[in-house]
């Protein structure tokens, strides 16, 4: 840090943004690492890898689950866009994102925790990965969610049946209802539910704006064959965000760019200390997947590009930012005061 108020131990920082959210003076900003910028689902890979390198596998899986409940999907597909821009690629080779996520995959299917309550009802019509993502995002807002599809089980290409089964069990445990139908009657759905989202083939022929709004309370996730599954899920996140705004009484475009609203900034190149970091070659798996020691070694190659910075000198030394830091990486220097 280049100021006198805040000290950050970069070897512990997860770049989770808790301190940024809690600063009452709006004094802190979080520099986004390239991998998180490129991640279509805004995954905090730095925090996940830092915890993995420390051998805190349960905490790493919990951080992955905080970002997305579909860690098993990511492990199956990989995240090529995030891996491609990894800063370690300039010095030894990008991290093995897929290998690390695959090691953590079995531990990410815990309970979602306590959710807010709402009297609003939403329905998502479809049977693909975008359907599941939209349903999850709406349910996290506390709304009652029904998934309506023409098949008894969603079809997610490239994902093992065991992973899909665990995912479905988790979503049903969140009280998301799954129902089947022979055909979708859009007009009836719009009358019976407060928000309707169409995905996949159910959205074919629809015309929606940039937020996915078709009209009134009808939304659609528009996708085509050229999009990757992660791009379809990212579209579902944006559309579900707009639908949640409608359900909660806001305009559909409220905080559409959450990164700006949460005080996050773009990363503009390597830090000086990273340019001088020793080269570290990727760890080679000894079998079909990483062992615990191998995954820790591979995760420890993360350079830790993201970190909080102080934008001005208005610190009140109130300490909430230090208190909410999960790894005690942040320390507030209080002048003329003995703790």
- Residue 146 within a domain: yes
Residue of higher predicted confidence among 330 and 195: 195
Using 50, 70 and 90 to split pLDDT, how confident is the model at 274? low
Are 86 and 129 contained in the same domain? Answer: no
Confidence of residue 219 (pLDDT cuts 50, 70, 90): very high
Whether 109 and 173 map to the same domain: the answer is no
- pLDDT for the residue numbered 215: 94
Is residue 201 over pLDDT 50?
yes
Q: Give yes or no: residues 232 and 272 share one domain.
A: no
Task: Report the pLDDT value the prediction gives residue 107, as an integer from 0 to 100.
Answer: 67
Residue 187 forms part of a structural domain: yes
pLDDT of amino acid 195: 97
> Does any domain span residue 110?
yes
Is 91 a member of any domain?
Answer: yes
Contact status, residue 46 vs residue 302, Cβ threshold 8 Å: yes
Residue 239 placed within a domain: yes
Report the pLDDT value the prediction gives residue 260, as an integer from 0 to 100. Answer: 54
Residue 121's DSSP bridge partners are: 144
Work out the pLDDT band at 279, boundaries 50, 70, 90.
low
Residue 298, CA atoms < 13 Å, CB-side half-sphere? 25
| CA nearest neighbour of 331 among 3, 110, 43, 45 | 3
Cα separation of 314 and 324, whole Å? 19
**Range with the lowest mean pLDDT among 100-104, 144-148, 204-208, 283-287?**
283-287
Inform me whether the pLDDT recorded for 275 exceeds 70: no
Percent of the chain topping pLDDT 90: 52
Specify burial of residue 220 (Cβ count, 10 A radius: 0-12, 13-18, 19+).
buried
Q: Are residues 141 and 241 in the same domain?
A: yes
Per-residue confidence (pLDDT) for residue 1, from 0 to 100: 40
Element counts in the chain: helices (H) and strands (E)? 15, 11
pLDDT band at residue 248 under the 50/70/90 scheme: very high
**Residue 123, pLDDT score:** 97
82 and 199 belong to one structural domain: no
Query: Both 180 and 210 in a single domain?
Result: yes
Q: pLDDT tens digits, residue range 74-127?
A: 999 999 999 999 989 888 889 999 999 999 987 667 666 778 888 999 999 999
Q: Which residues pair with 330 in a beta bridge?
A: 8
* Residue 166 falls inside a structural domain: yes
State the Cα angle at 188 between 183 and 192, rounded to 5°. 125
Regarding whether 104 and 129 lie in a shared domain, the answer is no
Task: Give the number of domains in the chain.
Answer: 2
Q: How confident is the model at residue 273 (pLDDT cuts 50, 70, 90)?
A: very low
* Lowest mean per-residue pLDDT among 204-208, 250-254, 259-263, 281-285: 259-263
Does the residue 86 lie in any domain? Answer: yes
Residue 56 lies inside a defined structural domain of this protein: yes
Confidence class for position 338, pLDDT limits 50, 70, 90: very low
Q: What is the pLDDT of residue 272?
A: 45
Q: Range of 211's domain?
A: 121-247
282 shares its domain with 168: no
Domain with residue 197: its CATH number is 3.40.50.720
Q: How far is CA 268 from the centre of its chain?
A: 21
Residues 137 and 167 in one domain: yes
Largest CA distance in the chain: 72
Q: 25 vs 220, which has greater pLDDT?
A: 220
Q: How high is the pLDDT of residue 257?
A: 66
Helix (H, G, I), strand (E, B) or coil at 11: coil
* 56 and 80 together in one domain: yes
Closest CA to 242 of 214, 215, 211: 211
Residues 86, 184: one domain?
Answer: no
Q: 77: closest CA among 218, 202, 219, 232? A: 232
98 and 128 both lie in a single domain: no
What pTM does this model have? 0.86
């Amino acid at each position: 840090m280049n100021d006198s108020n805040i000290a950050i131990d970069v070897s512990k920082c997860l770049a989770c943004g808790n301190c940024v959210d809690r600063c009452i003076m709006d004094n802190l900003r979080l520099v986004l690492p390239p991998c998180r910028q490129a991640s279509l689902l805004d995954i905090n890979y730095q925090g996940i890898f830092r915890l993995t390198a420390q051998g805190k596998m349960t905490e790493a899986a919990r951080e992955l689950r905080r970002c997305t409940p579909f860690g098993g999907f990511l492990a199956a597909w990989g995240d090529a866009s995030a891996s491609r821009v990894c800063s370690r690629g300039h010095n030894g080779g990008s991290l093995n994102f897929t290998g690390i996520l695959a090691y953590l995959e079995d531990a990410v299917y815990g309970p979602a925790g306590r959710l807010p309550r709402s009297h609003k009802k939403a329905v998502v019509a479809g049977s693909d990965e975008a359907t599941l993502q939209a349903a999850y995002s709406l349910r996290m807002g506390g709304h009652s969610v029904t998934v309506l599809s023409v098949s008894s089980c969603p079809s997610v290409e490239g994902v093992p049946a065991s992973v899909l089964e665990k995912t479905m069990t988790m979503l049903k445990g969140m009280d998301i209802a799954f129902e089947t139908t022979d055909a979708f009657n859009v007009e009836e759905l719009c009358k019976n539910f407060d928000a309707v989202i169409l995905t996949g083939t159910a959205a074919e022929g629809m015309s929606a704006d940039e937020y996915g709004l078709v009209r009134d309370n009808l939304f659609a996730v528009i996708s085509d064959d050229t999009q990757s599954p992660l791009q379809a899920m990212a579209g579902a996140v944006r559309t579900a965000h707009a639908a949640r705004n409608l359900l909660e009484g806001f305009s559909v475009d409220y905080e559409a760019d959450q990164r700006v609203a949460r005080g996050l900034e773009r990363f503009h190149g390597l830090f000086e200390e990273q340019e001088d970091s020793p080269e570290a070659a990727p760890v080679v798996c000894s079998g079909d997947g990483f062992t615990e020691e191998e995954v820790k070694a591979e995760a420890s190659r993360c350079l830790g590009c993201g970190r909080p910075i102080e934008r001005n000198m208005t610190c009140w030394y109130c300490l909430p930012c230090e208190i909410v830091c999960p790894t005690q990486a942040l320390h507030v220097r209080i002048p003329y005061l003995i703790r």
